[in-house]
Structure 1
Amino acid sequence: MEEHQILIDELLHLLNGGNAHADLKRALKGLPADLRGAKPDKLPYSIWQLVEHIRIAQWDMLEFSKDGSHESPNWPDDYWPKETAPKSDEAWNKSVKQIELDREEFMDLIKKGDLYSKIPHGDGQTILREVLQAADHEAYHVAEIIVIRRLMGAW
């Protein structure tokens, strides 16, 4: 039982950013609003598009983990916003807040402790797999956000 709790604690820590790199909150801290939609030369996306992509993908993984009636968006088109910048500060704040809320809901699933049972409506996935995938996905795109900020001289 102690080992299982250690795993739960480590997964919670991982979803909150882990130890090895900056988390999303740190990657976005102090980002000037006018740079949210900027795309450095030859990069295919803006920070806004990355933030929205993180939100959409995490939401999809969470809903899949909870609900057998959930239908995922069409890949890849519906996972990436077309607009390069948020329509407003409100849209930006709403997206960032939703990422935080969905992450908290993932943490609630972890705390229930059933990490290894197959998700009934899946094809072999477990909560453990979905959590690891969500954390890995976010970390990957957080690194891209930091690179974009560095390229724009805003890190």
Structure 2
Amino acid sequence: MNNHHDILIKELIKLLEGGGAHATLEDALDGIPADKLGVKPHGLPYSIWQLTEHIRIAQWDMLEFSKDGNHQSPKWPDDYWPKEAEPAEGAWDKTVAAIKADRKAFIELLKSDDIYQPIPHGDGQSILREALQIGDHNSYHTSEIILLRRLLGIWK
């Protein structure tokens, strides 16, 4: 790395992939018993499944917005949160795989585009802003997943 742009891209990738001083999203999602995915402990309004699916939907929306001027975002907030507390058969694995695939696609976008320029179909957003928003959003909800796991007695 020999310039500031390369250093910034490297740091953004670290932000999106998580870790460092904190648990990654993969750490937070690893080894959750299937019977705990839909539990809403202590009257909380969401389950681990709902948080994870919300991460997938929001990250997918930011990725698609960043690359497609014809993308229509889901209706906020209703379409960003699953209604059911528990995943349907096979949905959990699909959601976790989609989060990883969309993150990888966004990282490729980070590497290929001028991250500072406004997105042509946006109203001032840039790839840099979207990267920071994805990183912030995912880390916020990752910590909530870990908190739910602690309340359920299934965290390290």
**What's the TM-score bracket when you normalise by the shorter of the two chains?**
over 0.9
Residues 117-153 of structure 1: per-residue CA shift (max 9 Å, x gap): 0000000000000010001100000000000000011
Runs of 4+ in 1 over 4 A off after TM superposition: none
CA distance in 2, matches of 1:113, 1:23: 26
Contact preservation (8 Å) 1:8, 1:113: no
Please tell me the residue identity of whatever aligns with 2:18. Answer: G
CA distance in 1, matches of 2:19, 2:127: 18
> Which residue pairs with 2:126 in the alignment?
126
Please tell me the residue identity of whatever aligns with 2:4. Answer: E
> Which residue pairs with 2:154 in the alignment?
154
Please tell me the residue identity of whatever aligns with 1:117. Answer: Q
> Which residue pairs with 1:62 in the alignment?
63
Please tell me the residue identity of whatever aligns with 2:97. Answer: K
Contact preservation (8 Å) 1:45, 1:84: yes
CA distance in 2, matches of 1:121, 1:83: 33
Q: Which consecutive residues of structure 1, in runs of 5 or more, have no partner in the other structure?
A: none
Cα deviation, residue 18, structure 1: 3.9
Cα deviation, residue 84, structure 1: 0.3
Residues 25-79 of structure 1: per-residue CA shift (max 9 Å, x gap): 0001111111000110220000000000000000000000000000000000000
How much identity, in percent, do the aligned residues show? 64
- Length, aligned pairs only: 154
Cα deviation, residue 16, structure 1: 0.6
CA distance in 2, matches of 1:148, 1:60: 25
> Which residue pairs with 1:142 in the alignment?
142
